Structure formats: structure tokens, C-alpha cells
Structure 1
């Protein structure tokens, strides 16, 4: 359904589907994530250049659109880049604003669990589109080869990391590689992330995947806790 650039014939429908997926995802999240996605949706609707696959808007203009200060804009845009929803096409310099592009593959990946909230027809349409592009589109682009993790210490986390790497090197490089084993208490495995945002993202979006990988190598693991 959705190509990497929703342009050409049927482009309007593809754009609406993408925005609907983002909205359905936002409404299933907490208030902070809801507000962040609403801000992005408004920015896309007002200023995204679909033909060029480009968002080139200054922080002052975004701040006015969002009714916030520029510090909030900087923080929110950093969150969106960290989540992989926005990618930098060209870094801003004196007299030139930063240029961003939407990572449609990443957005589809993250919003997929909420497609069914829109309706079975929407879920089917989106799912068919994702399947049709999966052979030619890398869901999470990663520069270079992502090295497999070291499993020499033999811990459940080392082995689980290796499984996660083999399943999806992009997700591994973006979110899993930076997680360290903090402690194990009974069935609870505690992992340490490099930041609170990173920890919250993994706990919210990847908890089931990480737990499944851990249980594949150690069935006594019953809970994953991610701290910063």
C-alpha cells in the first residue's frame, strides 16, 4: 500500500493512511506520546513536501505552529529522531534550516499493532502493503554491517541479544545494542539503557520482543525491566 514516497497515482489515499496509522497509534499511548505525535501530524500536514520527501522548517516557525518555545521544539525533534520517525537529510547551518524526511518504514513498524483499532479493512490494506514492499524495503536502515554481539559470557542476555540481532539487525542496532545487563533477581531481568527515553521506548515498544528472546534461551525469565 505505502511506498517509501507516497507520490503519484493514489498518493492522497496513501498519505491519509499513513496519517491515520499515526493518529491511531497516538491515541493508544500516554498523554506525552499523544502530544508528540499530534505535533508531528500538524507539522506534516502544514509543511511536509511529499514530492521532495522533505521537511525544511525553522525552529522558530515550528515553535509558533506548536505554541511552544524553541527549546521544546529542539527537545521534541530530538525525540522524533531518536525514535527513528524523522531522519536528517541535511544538517542545518548558518542561514539554512535542517532538512528532515519521514522514515515511513519505521512509522509503519511502530504503528502496526494499532492498525486494527481503525478497522479490519484498514489493517488488511496496510498489512498487504507492508508485505508487498518487505522484499525491497529495509524496515530500519542501518549504515554498514551491524556486528553480531559477543556471547562469550554465556548469560541469558548475551544469548538473547544474539537472537534479536539475527531477527532484525536494524532494531538491534537502534535499541538493543546499547542495553547492558544490570542484574537478575528471580525471574526478573533488569537491563540498563543509556537514557530514560531509550529505556522508556524499549519498555513500551519492544518489551514483548525482548522478553520472548530471553525466554527462548532461559524459560525462567518472566519479566524484563529497563532502567536508565
Structure 2
């Protein structure tokens, strides 16, 4: 996924979309995530240059804006860099502060599970503005399909029962990431699932695979695990 930078005729709406995605992501998390997201939003709304994709602000200024000490600034800015939300464009040198940039693509990718909390109109809008293929081989990964909760067509009772369990525990996460998976049956003692894109499969493997395996083995202990393909 590549999120188009908020410049040009539709810049205002895209800025609101970015901030809305961050807001929903923060509200869906614990107090630590909420605080980190709020601090990033403060930097974006007060000091970020949208046209040039530049954030030039010293630690003293950031500490004053956030009402914290510089140690907290160092810790949270490091965390934002680890997430890939903030990138260093030019390191500080000779008394000058670093020039930072904002990775809209990484932010929108990481906040995507919370989009259903905003509403189907937001998801539909993001489908037309956020998805741009990075190369020709990834044309099928431009948009991650979202749908209202429905269990994927299942060829096994195992997957149907696992879906019911997963949907009950976290409906919005199920809508966004699990419902689009297709049951392809059992092979070598593993349940085979097909993701709609490589991006979708990568996200599920990284963030949800343990949950999927637990649900599948709960309903059918004879299975050794889940094999996800795209």
C-alpha cells in the first residue's frame, strides 16, 4: 500500500483522513498507544510542513509542546522511528536539528485494522486514495478488501467454527483481516487458508497467526496448525 501524500487539490481531505486513522488507532489501544499517537498528532498539526514533508523541531521545543522532559522526548521519538512513522531525512549537524519526514504509507498500513471503527465510508474512501502499487508484480496488493462480518465460504467445519469464535472475540478485526481469508481444506494435517493479497497475508502472518492457530486447534485438536497462502 502506498498512501498518496496530502498535497494538491484533495490535500485537506487527505490530511483529515490521516489524522482520523491515527485517532482511531490510538483510541483502540491502551493508554501508552494513545499517548504516543496524541504526541505525534501534536507534531503533525503544529509543526509539520505538508508541502515539503519536513518536520524540523528540536528536542527542547518538542518537550515544551508535549509538556514532558527531554528524556521522554528521546524515548518516544525513538519509538516513532522504530514504527517507521517518522523517518530521518537529514541528520542534525553543526548545531542544526534533524530534518524529519512522516511516512504516510506506514501510518496507514499500521492503523488499517482500526478503520472499521470509523465507518464503511472511510474504508471505501481509503480504497480509492490509499492503494497504489509499488511495482508491477504487486498489482493485486493495492487494496485490502474490507467487508461486513461474514464467515468465508468454508470447505471444513473447522474453519467455520473457528471463524465464529474469532468474530465473537474481536468483530472489527475479524471484518478487516480474517473474513477475507478463504478456506482451501486440509493438507498434511494443516488447515490451508488463502489471503486475497500478499500484503494481506503478510499482515496476518505477522499479527494474527498465533490467534488463528489457537482458534483452529481449539475446534479441531487433530490439526497441527494453519498454512496461509496468497
Same fold per superposition (TM over 0.5): yes
Name 2:224's counterpart in structure 1: 220
Distance (Å, rounded) in 1 between the aligned partners of 2:224 and 2:67 = 49
Alpha carbons of 1:79 and 1:122: their partners in 2 closer, same or farther (altered >3 Å)?
A: same
Give 1:207 deviation, angstroms.
2.6
**CA distances 1:15-62 after superposition (whole Å, capped 9, x unpaired):** 010000000010001100110000000111000000100111000000
**Count of residues in correspondence between the two structures:** 159
The unaligned stretches of length 5 or more in structure 1 are: 140-166, 173-201, 223-228
**CA distances 1:62-83 after superposition (whole Å, capped 9, x unpaired):** 0000000011001000000001
Task: Tell me the secondary structure at the aligned position of residue 52 of structure 2.
Answer: coil
Alpha carbons of 1:32 and 1:40: their partners in 2 closer, same or farther (altered >3 Å)?
A: same
Superposition RMSD in Å: 3.2
Give 1:128 deviation, angstroms.
2.5
Name 1:39's counterpart in structure 2: 39
Alpha carbons of 1:209 and 1:6: their partners in 2 closer, same or farther (altered >3 Å)?
A: farther
Name 2:23's counterpart in structure 1: 23
Name 2:116's counterpart in structure 1: 116
> Taking CA–CA contacts closer than 8 Å with sequence separation of 6 or more, which of the two structures ends up with the larger relative contact order?
2
Contact residue 53 and residue 101 of structure 1 kept, 8 A: yes
Contact residue 211 and residue 221 of structure 1 kept, 8 A: no
User: TM-score under structure 1 normalisation?
Assistant: 0.61
Contact residue 21 and residue 111 of structure 1 kept, 8 A: yes
Q: Which residues of 2 match residues 20-169 of structure 1 at below 5 A?
A: 20-131=20-131, 133-135=132-134, 167=198
Name 1:225's counterpart in structure 2: none
Contact residue 54 and residue 101 of structure 2 kept, 8 A: yes
Task: Tell me the secondary structure at the aligned position of residue 87 of structure 2.
Answer: strand
Give 1:209 deviation, angstroms.
4.4
The unaligned stretches of length 5 or more in structure 2 are: 142-197, 217-222
Contact residue 213 and residue 225 of structure 2 kept, 8 A: no
Distance (Å, rounded) in 1 between the aligned partners of 2:112 and 2:209 = 14
Task: Tell me the secondary structure at the aligned position of residue 84 of structure 2.
Answer: coil
Q: Highest CA radius of gyration, 1 or 2?
A: 2
Contact residue 84 and residue 103 of structure 1 kept, 8 A: yes
